Structure 1
Amino acid sequence: MAMKKIQMGALALTLLVGSTQLVIAESNVVRLGAVPVPPMGALYIGIEKGYFADAGVDIKLTKTPLGPTLMSQLIGGNLDVVGLGIGAGFFNAVNKGAPVKIVAPMGGNPSQPGVQIGTSAASLMVRTDLLKSGAVKTEADLKGKTCAINALGVLTEYIMSEELARGGLTLSDIKLKTMPFPMIAAALKSKALDCGLLPPALTVKVMKQKVAKRLHKGYEPGMQGLVILYNTKWAKANPNTANKFMAGYLKATRDLQADNGWRKKENIEILTKHIKMPKKIMKKINQQWVDIKTLRVNKDNLMKQQQYYVNHSKLSKLKKPLAFSAIVDASFADHAVANAR
């Protein structure tokens, strides 16, 4: 009898330990990686206003200005979720079997023209003296000019290509250089560059200094700038937490975008805390556009960007584009929208 009780006790302990392991496996902790830039503002709003916490998620935030570092950490399983700009490196990684997928949009352009001035991601800036003298009037006049982007194989290369196409040019028609955004602004000021792509904050700065101006105030409607990426192994092991994170993110995007939330004092305070940007500039930059009704990635533009890298980027390893289903999983966003209150 005593032996039977011991065996029953051992069985009960085994079942208890087993159930505990199941609970631990579905962790509520999300290791989030982000770059301190305005397009990622919804992540900081979600953290500071408690939208993630209310959804039952414990955020462990890693901030770095180095996007490639976040990507490698996500692929390696050291981060669960990241906000990132997409480029040739992302498509190459997916093609090689990396456990990453796009699950939601972040920064981008409105689907309709005239909603904002200039692109949300980066604007083509031309030196003021070239514009005043008439040396540059349209994109076609940039032929042979020295221009810069921050890196090859990333969103800014795609944007520069689209800008030049307005004037019937390609990247081979200009003297293209790569350097960090602050150096582009400085080189425009010193006249070492004729033009360059700058993010919203530096766009405002060089315009205020009368160093450079936007060549035009339009933008590519519906351009998908930044996105939310999940480590798919983590999401498969923690589906409830993955859904909870997305629920918090949806609330944050709606807070930031609806009713001109981007300009609200409380949100400006949060954004400047995490992004380290003067409040005056933060108030002037473009709102980062997301489809807050559906939280869907712009499929057509995403595939267009991928096609560009396949056809033109020196860093692309793809011979043909990947299927949309191979790079995007909309199930988490769909679940968040369907269950939003």
Structure 2
Amino acid sequence: MKSGWLMGVLALALVLGACTSKEAEKPVSEGKPSENYPSGDLAPLDKREKVFIAEDGAASGAGFYIAKEKGYFEDYNIEVEFAQFANSDDMLPALAAGEVDIAGGVSTASFFNAISQGIDVKIIADKGHNVPGKSYFTFVVGNHMVDVIKDYPDFKGKKIAISSYNSIDEYIFEQMLAHAGLTKDDVELVLMSDFGSMLGAIDAGTIDAALSIEPLIAQGVDKGFHVRFGDATDYAPESQIALVLGSPDFMMKEQDVSLRFMAAYLKGVRDYNDAFIKGIGKDEVIDIMTKHTALKDPALWEKVNVTGLDPDGKMFIDDIKKQYDAYKANGAIRGEIDFDKAIDTSMTEKAIKEIGAYERD
């Protein structure tokens, strides 16, 4: 009997201990910010952690900038530091080696080739897509052509500039041609690696149209160099332009950190959507964007078509695969990619479970 009584006490103690342990580990505070849970959802890390982000001041990094300035990273006891690289060829090996934790990437054949050849990085969330009717990455037509090019088939025989081959630029260009019922042989393709140089060329009439990007599109319209033509979502409605990339070590070995990092990032993206879609807190967000990006004129932020950033981090995964297939068809891909391994949305999905899905209008 003594033995039975003692076993019962021990069992009860184990149950109570387990409950106490679970309660101690539970990283939620019923959605209410407090001194211990300033975020209102996940507990801050016990030890301060630094996360290195490869970001060059692109507008698509809005989620990082806003989360930093509004203290969302700080709420989780995370310090972020931005690291700049001369080009993505340098960035990817550093990311794979864990020298940086998070980076922004753009779809190119060289990006996919790096993954196929063993550079292990994870594609984890959206970092840029066109918003229907308000594309930030789309075609412009020179003022000398506004009465000539009125519909997509009118691009036939015209000089059209893009910034790079075997990239998202050429992919969108090819989507436009297919929509117009044209082929590359029907137009004169001009390679101009600098978007800024397209402004002078289109004003001088040495090119007729260009696949340009904000804020240069809005600046060119203001200066009378060109006009926006149609919208990229007319023919490429779900193009994944930019990607959030994570290092394998950061994603797999530091899940307490990466989960909180992603929650903070998505909160920043949501403030961005609130500002530019709902008009909530817009002045504050524009101040943050002028601080961190090359677009320093607050008035111009009212005129640009801003980068689309999904508030739940969702990507157009089918389009990522279509881009890869397009580069492969052009002979630019030298290996195979297992997209089930390369694309890892698990941490983004876990973060959404903690902070809740975004309330869309």
Instruction: Give the conservation status (yes or no) of the 8 Å contact 1:255–1:261.
Output: no
Of residues 215-224 and 122-131 in structure 1, the stretch that sits farther from structure 2 once superposed is 215-224
2:237 corresponds to 1:221: yes
- Find the residue that maps to 2:274 and give its secondary structure: helix
- Per-residue deviation, 1:137: 2.6
| Larger-Rg structure | 2
What does 1:1-341 align with in structure 2 at a 5 Å threshold? 28-63=49-84, 66-110=87-131, 113=132, 116-117=133-134, 119-120=135-136, 122-132=137-147, 134=148, 136-176=149-189, 177-217=191-231, 219=233, 220-258=236-274, 260=278, 264-277=282-295, 278-292=297-311, 294-312=312-330, 314-318=331-335, 322-340=337-355
- Find the residue that maps to 1:243 and give its secondary structure: helix
- Find the residue that maps to 2:219 and give its secondary structure: helix
- Per-residue deviation, 1:335: 0.8
Instruction: Give the conservation status (yes or no) of the 8 Å contact 2:138–2:232.
Output: no
Structure 1: distance between partners of 2:140 and 2:267: 34
Unaligned runs of 5+ in 1: 1-25
Structure 2: distance between partners of 1:262 and 1:281: 18
- Find the residue that maps to 1:148 and give its secondary structure: strand
- Read off the aligned partner of 1:169 and give its amino acid letter: L
Structure 2: distance between partners of 1:226 and 1:302: 10
Structure 2: distance between partners of 1:290 and 1:199: 16
Cα deviation 1:59-109 (Å, max 9, x = unaligned): 111245744443343234321110121221221111112120101111113
- Read off the aligned partner of 1:217 and give its amino acid letter: D
Structure 2: distance between partners of 1:254 and 1:91: 29
- Per-residue deviation, 1:262: 8.0
- Per-residue deviation, 1:27: 7.5
Structure 2: distance between partners of 1:270 and 1:46: 10
| Cα RMSD (Å) | 2.2
Aligned length: 304
Q: Which residue of 1 aligns with 2:16?
A: none
Structure 2: distance between partners of 1:179 and 1:262: 36
Structure 1: distance between partners of 2:221 and 2:302: 15
Instruction: Give the conservation status (yes or no) of the 8 Å contact 2:105–2:245.
Output: yes
Instruction: Give the conservation status (yes or no) of the 8 Å contact 2:239–2:319.
Output: yes
Q: Which residue of 1 aligns with 2:14?
A: none
TM-score normalised according to structure 1 size: 0.82
Instruction: Give the conservation status (yes or no) of the 8 Å contact 1:124–1:197.
Output: yes
TM-score normalised according to structure 2 size: 0.78
- Per-residue deviation, 1:330: 0.7
- Find the residue that maps to 1:36 and give its secondary structure: coil
Identity of aligned residues (%): 26
- Per-residue deviation, 1:159: 1.3
- Per-residue deviation, 1:273: 0.8
- Per-residue deviation, 1:248: 0.8
Describe the shift of the 1:67–1:286 C-alpha distance in structure 2 as closer, same or farther (beyond 3 A).
Answer: farther
Instruction: Give the conservation status (yes or no) of the 8 Å contact 1:88–1:315.
Output: yes
- Per-residue deviation, 1:223: 2.0
Cα deviation 1:114-161 (Å, max 9, x = unaligned): xx42x23x11111111122x2x23222323322221222221111111
